[in-house]
Amino acid sequence: MIRLVLRYLKGPARAFAIAAPFMMLIEVFMDLQQPTFMARIIDVGVANRDLRYVLSTGLVMILMAVAGFVGGALCSLFAARAAVSAGGEIREGLFRKIQSLSCADVDGFRTSSLVTRCTNDVMQVQGMVMMLLRGMVRTPLLLVGSVVMAFLLSPSLSTVFLLALPFVLGCMALVMWKSASLFSGAQASLDRVNTIMRENLLGIRVVKAFSLEGLQEGRFGSSNQELTEANIRAQDVTFLLMPAVMLAMNACIVAVLWFGGGMVKAGSLEIGKIMAFINYLVQITNSTIMAANLVINLSRAIASSTRINEVLDRAPSLPAPASRAAPASLPALASQAAPTAQSAVPPAFDIEFRNVTFAYAGAREAALCDISFRLGEGGSLGIIGATGSGKTSLASLLPRLYDASSGQVLVGGMDVRDWDLPALRRTVAFVTQESLLFSGTVESNLRYGREDAGPADFESALADAQALGFVNALPEGVGAPVEQRGHNFSGGQKQRLSIARALLHDARILVLDDSTSAVDLGTEARLRAALAVRERGRTVVVIAQRVSALMGCDRILVLDFGRMSALGTHGELLRSSAIYRSIVASQLGEEAVAHA
Amino acid sequence: MPEAQRPSFGGRPVGDPHAHYFREKARLSDPRGTTRRIASYLGRRKPALVLVFLCALAATIVAILGTRLNGYTLDRFIKTGDQAGLLVICLVLLCMYALGALATYAQNRVMVRVAQRSSADLRRDLFASMQRLPLSYFDRHSSGDLMSRLTNNVDNINLMLAQGVVQLFAGAVTIVGMLVAMLLLSPLLTLIGVALVPLMVLGPRYLARKTQPSFAAQQRELGNLNGFIEEAISGQKTLALYGQERKAAEDFAAINARYVKSSGRAQGLSGIMGPINNSVNNLTYMVISVCGALFVIKGTGMTVGVVFSFLLYMRGFTRPINDILTLWSSVQSALAGAERVFEVMDTRPEADAPEARELDWTAGDIAIDDVVFAYEPGKPVLRGMSIHAEPGMTVAIVGPTGAGKTTIMNLLPRFYDFESGSISIDGEDIRGLTAGSLRARISIVLQDPFLFSASVRENIRYGRLSASDAEIEDAARKARAHEFIMQLPEGYETVLSDNGGNLSQGQRQLLSIARAIVADSSILVLDEATSSVDTRTEVLIQAALLELMKGKTCFVIAHRLSTIRKADRIVVIDSGTVVESGTHDSLMAAGGFYAGLYNSQFASGMPL
């Protein structure tokens, strides 16, 4: 955990973090003088009946208290600044890291766990940093300081707690070891509870539709129970520590009374010193308890920091290639660092799959098996097939959302793995099946496609995507608010906005994954017409369920259980592929087959 | 920081894209009411609390006696050199301390159970109340913010209950006990000591009042932060595709910075509490020492031992006061959090009409009569919609996007309440029926299927909890989902993740159809369900659904003309009203809107 914090303690925060303990030194030093001065009041002032001495000592103690306050307050302020800053930096670093993870990695971690790590776990670590900065100096210093002062007062009495110390340390170690695993168990239970809550939130419509409220409450109830028990178990262990420490310390006090009494009788010790000694013992006890608390909370924070490090240390499975190459003719890259030189002839933006096989992590069967085809630049390819036949998987390989298990995917004649990833994603615009909009405005969403787009660009893209009508009908136009996930728009509207966004991206290769499923046929036809004009000369891949969307493509690929079943034009397929014929028949009627 | 206003397309200024995260204002607090409410959760476990009280009492008595005996020992045994007496008193002290340790241990163990179980109750109540909230609430609040309330805020409360209450309890007992002991020892010194207490309390109280708004602000910013993180991480793929990672990171940095600022302020201010306490303590000891010494010198009968004991009492007296005061910051957090939690719980839930009837069987006659509805006041989506479906009829609803088709589906199960008009089932207004029983009679397949992180079998069972395994498999077969389920790693027992993320869109649709089949109700509503499934499979499902639809009333929103063609009645909607209605043949013959739609399917030869 220390490594994590040190890495993210930057700039002024670092100075604050260093300054805080020093401020604490002042406060602790002042605190340590207290018992000694009090002893002096008794031994010197009272013994000699010296009023003035008593009063002047009192004055000194006031000054020390004030100085201690200044030190302590500054320490707190500095510690807060440092801790909060470190927390913010860790959160940001974690967020950036999550952004850079590949789809496979994100699947592995699960969304809700990532969200918990970004929020809850970071807060644990932050809280710990603050506690450490404040207590890390105070507690050991008070502890050591008190021990030293006590030793100075009377070495022989000090041997008493030298015996107790190993016992106390042993207890602390045991508790820390046991509670660490219990606390991470509790965090895992918290994850599960949060998953159910999140699911319930997102799926509330389904819950209401099927009257699942009772069931959900039941599911929640059992994991809630589990969490409670896990928390109790973890805290139970920590409860052994406090009483044990207190008992040890109190026994020490009794021993001091016994031995000290003997020494006073023998005349080798003054009574005032016993008082001071016991005072120091109380200080030591208090500090030990504080240290114990710190230790317990530390285990909690360590569990959290482990979870954070797990994400930060994950080697990205889609690393930027060493060569960082991209075809030299790519216009948007003009300002980038010089890539390795390509041939003088600009490559075409064609797509080629060579014996590509792909399986999702942990799947029993491959989603794609031995796919090979080539689509020249400016050509259009339609992909059709049954559910689960691998259409989306195939398209996901193009922008490298996933990597093929074997075989090669080539764009512009170069393996996608050799492409500079940002450049690849600028070249391939991918409209996903599930159109996802972000909260903000219509304009902010469109800008994801192109940041420097102007009003004319928006108008053109929206018009072609058949979205201009409803956007103009909104009172704020492009400035209309978009709720989380685009909830305030209908399915068809979301899809059209997604398409407009992709059009703004102005990529050389456009992939549409079933992106007009919620759009009515009339609108879809107009969309197709508009895209035909706009995308002329660009490579287009269309995945659809409706043959009507694919009929005009140069070629159509029929997938069946991850394998290529047929490839050809609409007419060729009607003649050669039984599967294709049956699809056309079911959708467009027998007459469409006959009139091939 | 929010972007500066920019002129936009359409000439209207563009506001801050994240403005809606910052919508909430700082809350006015009702700390007393909130505290009482939280306390009521603890109050459910009175016997345990009594036990805790007794243990705390025992531990405190031990502490007080021990402290007094220390001083007494000095005066009585050490000064006089009575070794035998010293031995006895030391043994007594040891026994006492052992008992005290035991009492503390027992107290803590019981208290933590009380606290954690009370937190669990709170969490459960919150969840239950969330279930009863109307859909409009979820539309208005970001799920990230709600999640923040459910998790972070409840955690704060939990922390306070688990650790804070014990300290408060034990502390209160200790304070009273020590005060009594001090009075018995020396009323004079007690007077001086107590006179200094207000100093100890006033400073921190003033500080607490100052920091309360900072804590509320901190919580608010946390909600915003959570909302953003939630959205960005779930929308990861889309962000990656558009190379927007960097921009998202920048936006995040802005929101993060706001949180850091508000959090820093809150934590910093509350951190000064400790040093204040400490210095006041030191001053107090100093004053007592000086006064005590003065009294001893003046010879008023005060002894050194008394002063010593008194000082130890003072430590025992001020320590819990300090603890309670330092607890204040976590109490602040917890109260601010509790307010946000109770806000959700106090929202008016969906309610049935007082005389609502349970619907147990219906023939399935649905009459939608002149319904007017708007999600947001002033923006009507349905403007006088009328549709009638006889029992067993399949009605296909067609129209351009945004015409109001999905809205009709939302109104049938009373997800929302409409302004005027009526919807009746078998002639009975649905507003007179209980929502639960109404929804049990309607099966819904949504446009965007939602699946839970449970096994495939369980997900299908959610359609009807009383379904047997055989019925589930039968439904899966009818929905043509059985084949792909068997190909999953664990077949029906495969656990789905994150809204069925490990399945394709089509597969998710099939599962949600299987779920609707199992539900076996008399009214079926399909919202574009079949459009993500390839038509080869759809034909088979259509056949199965036709079987199922026998004797059932079915509303279909689909874009596939092959689906619509087979419907008993086609209703064409535009801008919230019915434009055309009839069978496929009659509408084609009429040559209107529907005919135009159908013909456009054959628009040919344009590559995309």
Nearest neighbour of B271 by CB, restricted to A76, A380, A542: A76
* pLDDT for A332 beyond 50: no
CB contact (8 A) between residue A484 and residue B297: no
The residue of chain B nearest to residue A61, with distances taken between CA atoms, is B286
Residues from chain B that touch A512, judged by Cβ atoms under 8 A, are 608
pLDDT band at A229; cut points 50, 70, 90: very high
Nearest neighbour of A271 by CB, restricted to B66, B74, B602: B74
CB contact (8 A) between residue A265 and residue B83: yes
**Full DSSP string of B540-589:** HHHHHHHHHHTTSEEEEE-S-HHHHHT-SEEEEEETTEEEEEE-HHHHHH
Residue B369 DSSP label: E
Residue A339 CA to residue A351 CA, distance in Å, equals: 21
Residues from chain B that touch A219, judged by Cβ atoms under 8 A, are 454
CB contact (8 A) between residue A79 and residue B311: no
CB contact (8 A) between residue A213 and residue B132: yes
CB contact (8 A) between residue B505 and residue A365: no
Residue B106 CA to residue B102 CA, distance in Å, equals: 6
For residue A31 the two structure tokens come to 């605190």
**What is the distance in angstroms between the Cα of A79 and the nearest Cα belonging to chain B?**
8
The three-point CA angle B149-B151-B155 to 5° equals: 105
* pLDDT for A335 beyond 50: no
**What is the distance in angstroms between the Cα of B477 and the nearest Cα belonging to chain A?**
15
CB contact (8 A) between residue A207 and residue B131: yes
Chain center to CA of A67: 43
Chosen for mutation from A141, A197, A360 (greatest number of chain B CBs closer than 10 Å) is A197
* pLDDT for A333 beyond 50: no
Residues from chain A that touch B20, judged by Cβ atoms under 8 A, are 439, 481, 483
Residues from chain A that touch B529, judged by Cβ atoms under 8 A, are none
How many residues does this entry show for chain A? 596
CB contact (8 A) between residue A439 and residue B231: yes
The one-letter code for the residue type at B163 is Q
Chosen for mutation from A200, A210, A459 (greatest number of chain B CBs closer than 10 Å) is A210
Residue A55 near residue B290 (C-beta atoms within 8 A): yes
Residues from chain A that touch B400, judged by Cβ atoms under 8 A, are 520, 522-523
Q: What is the residue-averaged pLDDT of chain A?
A: 80
**What is the distance in angstroms between the Cα of A465 and the nearest Cα belonging to chain B?**
12
Nearest neighbour of A205 by CB, restricted to B98, B257, B450: B450
* Strand A414-415, strand A406-411: pairing: antiparallel
What sign results for the dihedral spanned by CA atoms A448, A450, A454, A460? negative
Radius of gyration of chain B (CA): 35
CB contact (8 A) between residue B448 and residue A434: yes
Residues from chain A that touch B484, judged by Cβ atoms under 8 A, are 387-388
Radius of gyration of chain A (CA): 36
**What is the distance in angstroms between the Cα of B513 and the nearest Cα belonging to chain A?**
13
CB contact (8 A) between residue A384 and residue B607: no
Residue A381 near residue A532 (C-beta atoms within 8 A): no
pLDDT band at A146; cut points 50, 70, 90: confident
Residue B400 CA to residue B600 CA, distance in Å, equals: 13
Mean of pLDDT values over A276-293: 77
Q: A1-15, A205-219, B445-459 — which is least confidently predicted? A: A1-15
Chosen for mutation from B300, B534, B598 (greatest number of chain A CBs closer than 10 Å) is B534
Residue B386 CA to residue B384 CA, distance in Å, equals: 7
The residue of chain A nearest to residue B525, with distances taken between CA atoms, is A209
What ipTM is given for this predicted complex? 0.72
Residue B88 CA to residue A587 CA, distance in Å, equals: 101
Q: What is the number of CB-based contacts under 8 A between chain A and chain B? A: 554
Residue A225 has a pLDDT of: 93
SS3 of residue B606 by DSSP: coil
pLDDT, tens digit, 9 for 90 and up, residues A58-100: 888 888 888 888 888 888 888 888 889 888 988 988 888 888 7
Residues from chain B that touch A282, judged by Cβ atoms under 8 A, are 312, 315
CB contact (8 A) between residue A552 and residue B604: yes
Chosen for mutation from A37, A63, A521 (greatest number of chain B CBs closer than 10 Å) is A521
Residues from chain B that touch A554, judged by Cβ atoms under 8 A, are 607
**What is the distance in angstroms between the Cα of B277 and the nearest Cα belonging to chain A?**
9
Q: Name which residue leads in pLDDT, A157 or B460.
A: B460
Chosen for mutation from A29, A125, A193, A198 (greatest number of chain B CBs closer than 10 Å) is A198
Percent of chain A with pLDDT over 90: 5
The one-letter code for the residue type at A167 is F
CB contact (8 A) between residue B100 and residue A246: yes
Residue A445 near residue A451 (C-beta atoms within 8 A): no
CB contact (8 A) between residue A521 and residue B241: no
Residue B549 has a pLDDT of: 64
With CA atoms as reference, report the closest residue to B136 among A495, A440, A488, A492: A488
Element (H, E) at A441: strand A440-441
Which long-range contacts (C-beta less than 8 Å, at least 24 apart) are formed by A133-136?
Answer: A133/A17, A133/A20, A133/A21, A133/A75, A133/A78, A133/A79, A133/A82, A133/A83, A134/A20, A134/A24, A134/A75, A134/A76, A134/A79, A134/B271, A134/B274, A135/A290, A135/A291, A135/A294, A136/A21, A136/A294
With CA atoms as reference, report the closest residue to B424 among B412, B436, B435: B412
CB contact (8 A) between residue A211 and residue B440: yes
Residue A143 near residue A169 (C-beta atoms within 8 A): no
CB contact (8 A) between residue B9 and residue A279: no
CB contact (8 A) between residue A205 and residue B447: no
pLDDT band at A387; cut points 50, 70, 90: low
CB contact (8 A) between residue A548 and residue B144: no
* Strand B366-376, strand A414-415: pairing: unpaired
Chosen for mutation from A33, A256, A484 (greatest number of chain B CBs closer than 10 Å) is A484
Residues from chain A that touch B243, judged by Cβ atoms under 8 A, are 422, 425-426
Burial of B195 by CB count in 10 Å (0-12 exposed, 13-18 middle, 19+ buried)? exposed
Mean of pLDDT values over A259-270: 77
Residue A280 near residue A150 (C-beta atoms within 8 A): yes
Residues from chain A that touch B285, judged by Cβ atoms under 8 A, are 34, 38
Chosen for mutation from A25, A99, A157, A368 (greatest number of chain B CBs closer than 10 Å) is A99
**What is the distance in angstroms between the Cα of B503 and the nearest Cα belonging to chain A?**
8
- The angle, 0 to 180 degrees and rounded to 10, between the axes of the packed helices B535-549 and B469-478 is 130
Residue B188 CA to residue B307 CA, distance in Å, equals: 11
Residue B514 CA to residue B510 CA, distance in Å, equals: 6
Residues from chain A that touch B272, judged by Cβ atoms under 8 A, are 73, 76-77
Burial of B579 by CB count in 10 Å (0-12 exposed, 13-18 middle, 19+ buried)? middle
Residues from chain B that touch A197, judged by Cβ atoms under 8 A, are 127, 147, 150-151
Residue B1 DSSP label: -
**What is the distance in angstroms between the Cα of B459 and the nearest Cα belonging to chain A?**
11
CB contact (8 A) between residue A388 and residue B439: no
Residue A407 CA to residue B302 CA, distance in Å, equals: 95
Element (H, E) at A375: strand A368-375
Residue A278 CA to residue A253 CA, distance in Å, equals: 6
Q: A201-215, A339-353, A404-418, B331-345 — which is least confidently predicted? A: A339-353
What's phi and psi for B82, nearest 5 deg? -90, 95
Residue B45 near residue B53 (C-beta atoms within 8 A): no
CB contact (8 A) between residue B279 and residue A251: no
**pTM given for the model:** 0.68
Which parts of chain B sit beneath pLDDT 70?
1-29, 78-79, 326, 328-330, 401-403, 447, 505, 528-551, 559-562, 600-608
Residues from chain B that touch A85, judged by Cβ atoms under 8 A, are 260, 264
